[in-house]
Structure 1
Amino acid sequence: MSEAEAELAAQRELRERIERRKAEKAGPVQAGARLSGKAADLLAAVRAVESGGKPPASVFTEPEPAPRRSAPEPVRQPQVMPSATPAPVASEAVDTVRAVLVEGGAPEALAAQVAAVLGEGADAQLRENPWQLLRVAGVRPEQADGFARALLGAECGPDDERRGGAVTVWLLEQAALAGHTALEAQALHAALAQRSVPDPDAAVQSALAEGDALVFQDALDEPGAPAAPAPSEDDGEGEEAERPVRVLIGLERYALAEESLADGLARVVNSLPKEDGSATDWESAATGSAAELIRAVAGHGLVLHTGGEASRAEPAALAATARSLGLRVCAAAHTPDGRRRFAALLASAERADRGAASGPDPLSAPGFGTEDETGAPDGPRHGTGEAGTDETVTTVAGLLAGTEGPGRDADGMLRTDLLIVVDAPQLDVESAAMLAESLPDGARLVLSGDPGVLWSAGPGRVFADLLAARACPQVASRTPDPGPIGELVSGIGIGELNQVAAPGKEVVIVPVRDAGEAVHRTVQLIADSVPRAIGIPAEQTQVITPGHGGAVGTRALNTALKERLNPGPGRFGGFDPGDRIAYSPAPGRTVPGQVVKADADGLHLECAGAAVVVPKERVEQTVRHGWALTAHQAVGARWPAAVVVLPGDAAQALTRPWIYTAFGRAEQHLSVVHGVDQALPRAVAEVAAKPRTTRLPALLRAQVPAAG
């Protein structure tokens, strides 16, 4: 049955059900005919009384309640991070897929991935449409073309409808990896033409007909978009000029995620009670640098907060204030290191509040509850009352997975009245949609972050889209990042690469001439210069470089750093106990850690205080050495010292957000291994973030009025 026939059959079945329901409602209804259980017994008793009989005595007697058994207090187990092992596939299915791959000249190693991606009947799907191989990560169109020629022979050609649809989906997947949630129709057609698809329009229609992609029309009335043309005299009286639209093509999962996110944010904005009686309490607690943020949150369900690293103290003060007012508060960071730093700020804010409340003048801290003998403010408190517990401060991934945070109620909603998300620029559209959907009605949401850092690894630019849409209050922090590093990074944020005074060697520039010297200087800085001159050991210093490949990429630098800092034979898949690693449990997430040991179960790691066991077959895909990272891997975390390596071949990859992010990972000391000459100031001044195509601003305009 074709897609159209299936749709018509479903519509016929729906109409038949509607007609049956109408007929049932129009017919006579026998009173009590559909009752059962207790209701039926009560109705029978009433009828017995009406007819002069005696009702059963058991009807009006309540059974003795069963004795309530006290449940033991649950024991919190130490958190173990998931190993991201895919669901196992039957060996028979893998064997049949392997036979097809061998016949088509494709690597046998892809058999398990193909069977997992295509599901049941994967071998038959490949024979019917060999270009389905493009659904496996890492396979390119030219490789799928060779596979198809081997299987189909003379039937294979560039104008094959199956090829056009598969290449369309592949291009949309590649666009998602680059951050787009959809592509404009013109851009997609041009990309298809570059891939030798003779009829791009037919290829797109094939993907739409198969349900692999969706088409959208968004009005072009966002800021910076072309204005709608004025009606001309030839338009005719009473006829309105058509509004210009842009046609977008996107994958279903990201389209639904953006629509779900817009719906969820609209609900957050509109579900906050207009008058909840707490305005006075919020106003009295609005003091210090966080006063503007506290006032904004008091009257709005959704608030955006922008600022650098030092501005994190403001959402921490907001969290302390909300907890003192009896609200259930949860804060989520992008990385375990961000969780640790925010927990420390929250603990500091609560200590300051308690100190102010217990001072000689109780009225100097209005809005905070009085303290009992235990020293805890009165009123309901969430969790254990200690800042930084798992119930209060979490990671976004842990909160969504249910391994951290306050848990969920019977309806699946988070048990929180205020959710604060720091590192908000790292929210991709799917994670943001899950968070918005998980908030109960009446809860407040605060998205806080630095708009100058790199955007999320996943599709979308949620924080930037919300800032551009102006659909809610925006509070910009005026708290500057301190010291020479803060001054340098702040200047980069506005497009200026300033020379800053660094009397304590907070910022050091190390010029190099070629890749070999860059690697040598980097190892020297980590192993000798920074520990000796600055006093920061090698394990607290992070190397950041633009990419994984090349002569000065993460692979080359990690090889050199391992040889100097932890030499060994690499008996466990290239790793030895004591190696610094970067573990990626999911795409876009990187957790630093250390190798503990290896055995039959896999590679044992310690990541952010949690034990992780990575199965042997997953080590190559999820674990890398971690002395050197890219800026995308390092975002959301900070180290006492950072060495940023800028080799000559990286000049084209530099952008202002990349430099801003990389330089901002250092707390006390920053060394820059500089080999790009004038490309660095040029990138800071001229090269902004690469644009991403998203639908969220248009969806928000349709649901949430502008906040001005």
Structure 2
Amino acid sequence: MGAPEQLAAPLVAVLGPDADARITADPWRLLDLRSVTPRQADYCARTLLGEAARPDDPRRVRALVAHLLRRASRDGHTAVEYGRMARALRGLGVAAADAALQAAAEDDRILLVEDLPEEDDEEFDGDLPEPPAPERFLALAALGEAERRLAAELVRMTASEPVMDSATATETVLAAAGKLGRDPAPETVAALVTVALRGVAVLLCGPAAAGTGVEAIRYAAAIAADSQVGMALVAPSASGAAALNRALADTGVRARTVAALLADPAVEAGLVVVDQATAVDTETFAALAAACPAEAHLVLLADPGQLPSAGPGQVVADLVASRTAAVAVLPDAPDAGPREALAAGVGEGRLPDRVDLPGREVVFVPAASAGEAAHRTLQLVTDSIPRTFGLEPDQVQIVTAAPGGEAGAAALNAACKARFNPGPGRVAGLDVGDRVLLAGRGAGYAPGDTGVLRGHDGSGAAVELADGTTVAVAHPAHLRPGWAVPLAAALGGAWPAAVAVFTPDAALSRPALRTALTRGQRHVSVVNAAGAELAAAVRSTSAPPRSTRLARLLREG
């Protein structure tokens, strides 16, 4: 049928052992592979079907809709407005787009939903107006159903009973603060009272309030202990959990990853606290919310100025917009440092022409090209940062915004492997001792987790994650080199030090730099090969909008 032989194995992985028969019956199912374009699928269809391969063939239309929805989900959308999809199909030669979309909605991979426009409060005189036309959206069925389930679970949790009355919660917080020698701001106390009273609470904390966020976790633990409901503290990734555990080392509170929590049969906690919640996508949030006990309270700590999750959705933003959850803004920590102040300023569109912090918490390193950026990055990881801050190279994480090329993750990882752990690459191009990034889901791990490959046998690989736990990875495709990770994979992560790389072809934006500046706890080096374009992006470019239905579903209850 004209399909390259190298697609055989990926097609079997996606479509199953009968992939050949399924492709023969519907050659446009080639589009189930991310690497295949509509033009390539059309070529293969013409080779197999000849003149019968028409642009409006229902099989082609269904495949194109599913392909476009998958692409939209990679851009963060959970649903696509009907008219937008119709225009995209017209651009691909489907003339009767409306009829085609109706046909596509019959495909079990695709979900068609209709929403009535939300009512306004305008008064009217005379006869009742005609009902408005419904707003229609298309979504991948699994993703659309996950968004519905998440909305239902959040609505359930908003009805949870208080775990304490406001007076007792206030006393508990002040007592816990007294033991720590702290004098919490009134806004912090009020936020924790809200946590005790409301089933779903969003605590917004920017970079300068990160210390207050950790303090809030301590107070939430005191509320959970005094009310005897228990608390589960989770982070999106293993490095984020490790950072929390370093900050909470003097307490009995231990953080674990969302993936580790979901690997348990049930969550035994009346307070479930999610740190860096903007990094959690819709499908993961749906699973987490479903795992929470009936009367549990869900507490989300989030910096709204960071990049949204690598997966589809914008759960925190939708919760805030829906006005169905309690929202509190945590105040800046009294001991917030210059790095936090710089990141906060970036979130407001400000980047100084010269960054010269006294403790070198942040250093901007100019580079004239991507090649020079790669050279500077290796120099920082191998020498400058370890020597200046007393860290080991394995405590420094490279985070690159470059989509590829000399400063992309692949090239930087190849250079790091040659420097730190050269070897034949016996395990999917990796060797025992290599730093790894997990790119799939399994028992106890999720995309974005980082760690070290500790062993491998016939059943799979043993990876020690950044939080000290060890997971078994059966699928070699889940393993990637992890000395350098894409910026999207670093969401929810934190390391003692980080090197962030920006190039002119990167997706430069205010949230991108703010996210990068908050990946390193002691130090961040920003290798800037984008020149003045980076500062211009900070001034004028926010994160692209995402199309989701969660806020509407929450308001509908």
Residues 511, 674 of structure 1: 8 Å contact kept: yes
> What residue is the counterpart of 1:77 in the other structure?
none
Structure 1 unaligned residues grouped into runs of 5+: 1-103, 351-385, 409-413, 704-708
Residues 316, 345 of structure 1: 8 Å contact kept: no
Matches of 2:249 and 2:364, distance apart in 1: 36
Structure 1 counterpart of 2:146, one-letter code: A
Structure of higher CA gyration radius? 1
Deviation, 1:249, is 1.5
Matches within 5 A, 1:329-344: 329-344=231-246
> What residue is the counterpart of 1:545 in the other structure?
400
Matches of 2:24 and 2:164, distance apart in 1: 66
Structure 1 residues 472 and 572: CA distance shift in structure 2, 3 A: closer
Does 2:482 match 1:629? no
Q: Which of 237, 257, 263 pairs up with 2:152? A: 263
Q: Which of 340, 350, 361 pairs up with 1:506? A: 361
Matches of 2:288 and 2:61, distance apart in 1: 36
Does 2:315 match 1:462? yes
Structure 1 counterpart of 2:57, one-letter code: D
Residues 160, 198 of structure 2: 8 Å contact kept: no
Q: Which of 214, 220, 231 pairs up with 1:312? A: 214
Matches of 2:388 and 2:268, distance apart in 1: 49
Matches of 2:389 and 2:97, distance apart in 1: 59
Matches of 1:665 and 1:299, distance apart in 2: 32
Residues 183, 250 of structure 1: 8 Å contact kept: yes
Matches of 1:452 and 1:340, distance apart in 2: 23
Does 2:463 match 1:605? yes
Structure 2 counterpart of 1:207, one-letter code: A
Q: Which of 276, 300, 307 pairs up with 1:423? A: 276
Structure 2 counterpart of 1:329, one-letter code: M
Matches within 5 A, 1:71-470: 104-119=1-16, 121-221=18-118, 237-243=126-132, 245-272=134-161, 278-287=165-174, 288-289=184-185, 290-307=188-205, 308=207, 309-310=210-211, 311-346=213-248, 348=250, 350=251, 386-388=252-254, 393-402=255-264, 407-408=265-266, 414-470=267-323
SS in structure 2 at match of 1:387: coil
Structure 1 residues 573 and 176: CA distance shift in structure 2, 3 A: closer
Q: Which of 593, 596, 599 pairs up with 2:454? A: 596
Residues 55, 93 of structure 2: 8 Å contact kept: yes
Matches of 1:612 and 1:472, distance apart in 2: 35
Structure 2 counterpart of 1:302, one-letter code: V
Matches of 1:116 and 1:510, distance apart in 2: 44
Structure 1 residues 613 and 551: CA distance shift in structure 2, 3 A: same
Residues 543, 627 of structure 1: 8 Å contact kept: yes
Structure 1 residues 239 and 141: CA distance shift in structure 2, 3 A: same
Per-residue Cα deviation, 1:134-193 (whole angstroms, up to 9, x for no partner): 223433222222222222223212222211121111111111121111111121112112
Matches of 1:181 and 1:277, distance apart in 2: 36
Per-residue Cα deviation, 1:215-242 (whole angstroms, up to 9, x for no partner): 22334449xxxx79986x9xxx422254
Structure 2 counterpart of 1:584, one-letter code: A
Deviation, 1:574, is 3.0
Structure 1 counterpart of 2:35, one-letter code: G
Structure 1 counterpart of 2:346, one-letter code: I
Structure 2 counterpart of 1:321, one-letter code: I
Per-residue Cα deviation, 1:97-127 (whole angstroms, up to 9, x for no partner): xxxxxxx232444445434543575443322
Structure number with greater CO (CA < 8 Å, separation at least 6) is 2
Residues 332, 420 of structure 1: 8 Å contact kept: yes
Matches of 1:546 and 1:344, distance apart in 2: 27
Deviation, 1:602, is 4.6
SS in structure 2 at match of 1:445: strand
SS in structure 1 at match of 2:105: helix
Matches of 1:228 and 1:107, distance apart in 2: 58
Residues 542, 641 of structure 1: 8 Å contact kept: yes
> What residue is the counterpart of 2:181 in the other structure?
none
Residues 164, 197 of structure 2: 8 Å contact kept: no
Matches of 2:18 and 2:324, distance apart in 1: 47
Structure 2 counterpart of 1:538, one-letter code: P
Matches of 2:165 and 2:383, distance apart in 1: 57
Matches of 1:669 and 1:279, distance apart in 2: 39
Structure 1 residues 306 and 174: CA distance shift in structure 2, 3 A: same
Structure 1 residues 603 and 279: CA distance shift in structure 2, 3 A: closer
SS in structure 2 at match of 1:543: strand
Q: Which of 404, 429, 435 pairs up with 1:574? A: 429
Per-residue Cα deviation, 1:25-54 (whole angstroms, up to 9, x for no partner): xxxxxxxxxxxxxxxxxxxxxxxxxxxxxx
Deviation, 1:544, is 1.5
Does 2:538 match 1:676? no
Residues 655, 684 of structure 1: 8 Å contact kept: yes
SS in structure 1 at match of 2:514: helix
Structure 2 counterpart of 1:259, one-letter code: R
Structure 2 unaligned residues grouped into runs of 5+: 175-183
SS in structure 2 at match of 1:267: helix
Residues 493, 660 of structure 1: 8 Å contact kept: yes
Residues 158, 197 of structure 1: 8 Å contact kept: yes
Residues 485, 666 of structure 1: 8 Å contact kept: no
Structure 2 counterpart of 1:664, one-letter code: T
Matches of 2:403 and 2:480, distance apart in 1: 10
Matches of 2:438 and 2:485, distance apart in 1: 11
Residues 112, 138 of structure 2: 8 Å contact kept: yes
Does 2:383 match 1:528? yes
Deviation, 1:663, is 1.3
Structure 2 counterpart of 1:144, one-letter code: A
Moved more, 567-576 or 128-137: 567-576
Scaled by the length of structure 1, the TM-score of the pair is: 0.71
Per-residue Cα deviation, 1:651-683 (whole angstroms, up to 9, x for no partner): xx1111111111111122222222212211111
Q: Which of 520, 539, 549 pairs up with 1:695? A: 549
Structure 1 residues 580 and 140: CA distance shift in structure 2, 3 A: same
Structure 1 residues 525 and 501: CA distance shift in structure 2, 3 A: closer
Structure 1 residues 504 and 435: CA distance shift in structure 2, 3 A: closer
Does 2:336 match 1:482? yes
Deviation, 1:537, is 2.5
Structure 2 counterpart of 1:509, one-letter code: F
